[in-house]
Copies of this chain bind each other. A is one copy, B any other.
């Protein structure tokens, strides 16, 4: 398999996600090249969403010649494959939590999702709340719109930060 191990047991989560991503790309007929894999790994290794230029700095360690187009092209690919999402409020990118969930549903891109962003610690949580998605679909339809993609991002305090400060 992709990272040389036959099973997901005992693998670090990033490696498991990379394998899942590779499998998804295979099924989609897309090429997860070395560069794209490196960028994806950097996104996944980060606890918090990373901006394109932060990503670029990290990438330069392995790829000294990297420039903005290097990372933006990789990000575009990863977005198209649904392997990462963009957090619009932060101009930053984060791995999709659903990749590798084995949920079967092969949304090759853009499943409905919502982000919760802690303004204190920066932690960003991805939800896939059906009630929110449904309410939004209804409201959009009532307005006569046809929805193609939705951005739902909440800024606030996570449980830990709210507990400490109140």
Contacts and interface: CB of A to CB of B under 8 A. Distances in A.
Nearest to A90: B88
Interface string A150-162: 1111111111001
Contacts of A127: 139, 143
A48 interface: no
A54 interface: no
B146 A136 contact: no
Contacts of A62: none
Interface in A99-132: 114, 116, 118-119, 125, 127, 129, 131-132
Interface centre among A125, A145, A152 (most CB of B within 10 A): A145
Nearest to A128: B139
How often does this chain occur in the complex, in copies? 2
B140 A156 contact: yes
A157 B149 CA distance: 10
A89 interface: yes
B147 A138 contact: no
Interface of A: 88-89, 114, 116, 118-119, 125, 127, 129, 131-132, 134-136, 138-140, 143-159, 162
5 contacts: A89-B151, A119-B148, A132-B139, A140-B154, A149-B154
